[in-house]
Chain A
Amino acid sequence: MSFQIKSPGEAYDVIIVGSGAGGGMASKILSEAGFSVAVVEAGGDFDPAKEEDRTQLRPPWESPRRGASTRNRPFGDFDAAIGGWDIDGEPYTRTEGTEFDWFRSRMVGGRTNHWGRISLRFGPNDFKRKSIDGLGDNWPIGYEDIKPYYDKVDQLIGVFGSKEGILNEPDGYFLPPPKPRLHELFIKKGADKMNVPVIPSRLSILTKPINNDRGACFFCNQCNRACQAYADFSSGTCLVKPAMKKGKVDLYTHAMVRKVTTDEKGLATGVSYISKVDMKEYKLKSRVVVLGASACESARIMLNSKSSNHPDGLGNGSGMVGRYLHDSTGSDRMGFIPDLLGRKKYNEDGVGGMHVYTPWWLDNSKLNFARGYHIEYWGGMSMPSYGFGFGMDTIRKYITDEFGKPSQNGGYGAGLKKDIRSYFGTMVGMSGRGESIPRYENYCEIDNNTVDKYGIPVLKFNYNWTDQEINQAKHMQDTFEEVLTNSGAVLMGEKAGPDSKYGLHAPGRIIHEVGTTRMGDNPNTSVLNSNCQAHECKNLFVVDGGPFVSQADKNPTWTILALAWRTSDFIVGEMKKKNI
C-alpha cells in the first residue's frame, strides 16, 4: 500500500464522491492510471471479511428481533446495508400529492452492499427507445459504445448466466449458472404453458473464481448480508479496497459532501465536506471532481454548488439537474404450492437470489403500455426469520393433512405446530420490475426551507406515476396470477386492483432511480455530454445512475459500472492530453 502525505491545500488529481458502484469503478480505473485519488464517503468503513462486520451465516436467534427490519435496516437486522428510506437527521421532503421514497446506504460500498446482484446488460433497443415508441429520448450513445465495457466488467467482476441469443438481452462473458431449485421448476412448468420464458438468471456471484483475491460462492443464499469470501459483487470488496491496496487512494469516511467548490472561471476546484465525527467543515482540492454519490445525492450536491458562474447550481444552466428522475416499476404476488406440503428437507439455499428469471418477452406495440418488465422469483426453504409462521389465521385453511382434509384457520396446539412444520418451504412469489417513462415533470429540487443535521439544504421530490406504469402493473398482476395458477399454486391474498394502482410500489421503492443528470448532445436539454462530462464544467463528471437517459427493464448496476469505466477512460485520456 502506498501513502500520500499532503500538506493542507495540496491537491489530489481526482476527488470521487461516493464509494458505490460508480465511485468504486472510477477509483479503480483512475488510480490504476497513476492518478492520486480521494474517495469521499458519507458513511463508515465496512469490510465483511472482518469478523466484527460479519452478519453472514448467523441464525435468526443471534438477533434479538430474529432478523426483523429496523429503521436503518429496512431489509432486516442481518442486511449489510446501513441507512434505509428514513435516516435520522437526513430528511427529504415531497411536494403534496406526489410520492417518492429515497433509499440511501451510508457506508463504504454504498448500496452495492444491499442489492440483489442481478446484473443485466441493457440491450440495443434500451438506448433508442424514442425511435421505437416515440416516448422519452434516445441516449446519445448506443449498445455498441458500451459493449466493450460490459465485456470488461463481466470479466473483472464476474456474472453467471447462459448465452441465449436474445437481441435485447445481450449475452456476456458468463460463469456457469446454478441448477434451478424445486419451486423454480414449478414456476417454469406454469410459465411454459403460456409461453413466458424462464431462463437461468444473471447474477454477479462467483460460481467459479475469477482471480486470486476473491473466493467462490459457498451457497448460503445470503448475498444481502455481504460476503466474507468476496464471492459476490460489492463495490467496497471488489473495487475500492483493491484500488486502495494497489494505488494512491485515500479514503475519507463519515464525510458528507456539501458542495463542489469552483474557481472564478467556473471550473471545479475540489469539494467541501462536513465531517460527521466532529461536525466541522473541511475542504479538499483536486484537478477533477467525479460525483458518484447516487443519482439524487449527486444532483443535490450540484444544485447546492451555487456560485456567480453557476447561479442555479453547478452545471445547471439548462435547468435539467434533478429532472427526468425515474425509478423502475414494481409489483408483486405470492402463492402457495400444495404439492410441496411436507416436502423432503435438504439444503436448498443456493446463491443469494433466484436461479431463474423471466426477461421481457412481449411486443409493446400490441399492448397498452410502452415498456416492458422482467420477473424475479423467490420461495422455497429459505431460512426462517421474523415473520415466519405469521398469518395462520388466514392461510391455515390451505394446509391439508395426509388424507387431504383441510385445517381450520387459526387454532392452536400440536395440530397448529404440525401444520406450520408441513407448510415450511411451500411459498412462492414473483416480482415484476419494469421500465417507466422518464418525464421532465418528475424531478427533485432543493427544498430551501429544510436542512439536514449537517446544515445542508435537502432534496424535495415531485414524482407521479402515469397510466403507462399503471397499465404495466396491471399486466404484471394478470401475468402473475396466470403463472401461479398454471404452476399449481394457490393464490395468496387479494389481487391488487386499481385502488392500489395494481400493487405498483411508490417511486423510489425499487431503488433503481436514475436520470437526474442525464447525458445528451444538446446542452439545453441535458446536463452531461456522452462522456458523462458536465456541459458547463469540463472537469466535473458523474458516474452513478444520474447520466441515464432511460432506465431499461433491467437493474441499473451493470450499466453504472460499464459507464463509469468508460467515463474513467475518457478522464484518463483528457488528463493526459492536459485538456483538464
Chain B
Amino acid sequence: MKRVIVGAGVAGIAAIEAIRSLDSIGEIVMVGDDPHGYYSRPGLAYYLTGELHDKTLYPRASEDYRKLNFRYVKGRVKNILRDAHVLELENGPSISYDKLLIAVGAQAAPLEIPGATLDGVLKLDHMEDAKRILKQARRGKTAIVVGGGITALELTEGLLSRGMNVHYLLRGDRYWSGVLDDQESRIVEGRLQEVGVTLHHRAEAIEILGRKNRVIGVRLRDGRVMKCDLVAYAIGIHPRVELARQAGLAVDRGILVNEHLQTNDVNIFAAGDVAQVYDPSTGRSALDSLWSSAREQGYAAGLNMAGKATVYVKSIPFNVTRLAGLTTTIIGAVGAGDDKDLVGIARGDSETWRQLPDAMVAQSGFDVNRVRLLLGEKRLLGAVVMGDQKLSYPLEKIVSESVDISPIREELLSPQARIGDVIAKFWASMRN
C-alpha cells in the first residue's frame, strides 16, 4: 500500500503520524512545493516582530523525519491522473499512489486593483513572504496595510516593530466586524493607535501607484493619494483547489469531503485549509483555517488512509491569538456581521464563528480585559476573551462539552453580572 501526501503542512505531518501509528512499513511519500518544507506558519508573525529566529520555526529535526520513515519530494504536482492513480509533477518523475491526501492549504486572496503587482506590494503566506517583508521593511519609512482579520494585524505589528510608520486602511467602520463586536474592535483599534499606528476608516485603496515598477503610494476611492514605501495586504485566503478541480473532484469553496475526510473519489482524501468538511451535526460543510483543525483533520485522514475507518469529529472552532498585543481567545459561534475588509475567511479563522444562531449576550469589562459570552437556552454557544486569559480554558471546555449552563444563566444575564466570578465558581463546582 503506497500512500502519498501532497502538501508539507501540519495536516500532512499529522497524517503521516497517523499512518505510522498503524503501519510501520508501508511506503509513504510527501510532495511539497514550499522550498522550506514543514514549519510553523502561524509562527511567521513572531518572526516578523523579532520574537524568534526563523530557524526556530522548524519543529522537527531530520532525525524526527527519519523515524517517520517517509520520502520527501520537493516539487509541485501538475495533474492527478485518477484512473491511473498517478501524480504528474512539474519537474520530476511521476509518482503512483494507492491512497492520496491533498493537504495543500490556502493562499492569500490576491489584491485585485491596478498596481498590485508592483515591487513592494507584499502578502504573508509563507516563509519566503516573511523574508521578503523583512528585507523591504525600512526604519523610518512608511507602510500601508490593507485588509482585515488576524493576518492584517500581524503585518501591522511586524512592520511597526521594524520601525516603520504604519497606516492601516479599513474599508468599513471598524476592525474585524464579522467576528468582534463594536467594543472589541474599539479596544484593538485603541491599542494600535497607542503604539503609533495611524488608522483610516472608510478608506479603500483603489490603485497602487508606482515609479520604475516600485510602489510610491496608494490612491483611495475618495481621491486622496497617500505616499508610502510599501503596501502589505491580507484580505482573506483562498483554498488551493485548482489541482482537485482539474482532477474532477467535487469542489465548492474548498475540496468537499465527507466526515471521513474523503472526497468523491474513495482513494483521495483532503484535510486542512484546503478542505471543506461536512459536519453531520449541522448538515453543513465549512472551511476552517486553524492550525489545530488542520492537525486533527490530517490525523483522521491518515487513519482512514491506513484502513481504520475514522469519523472526524469537528471540535468547537477555537483560536488564541494576539490582536494588537492583546491575547484574545475566540471560541464557538461569536458573530454574524459583515466585514468589508475580507473576502471569505482569513488565516486563523473559521466560518463557524459567523454561524451564530439566536443568542443572548453577556459581557463584562470595558478596557483591555473583557469577556463576551453568547448564551443559548441551555448552552454557551461562544465566547470572546480579551486580555486576562484566566477564563479562556474553562470557557473552552464549557462550550466544547456542551455543559448545561441553566444554573448560572440568569446570573450571567443580570446587568451587574461579575461574569468572571460566576464562571470561576461554576467551573470549580463542575470539577469537584
Whether A and B are associated in the same complex: the answer reads: no
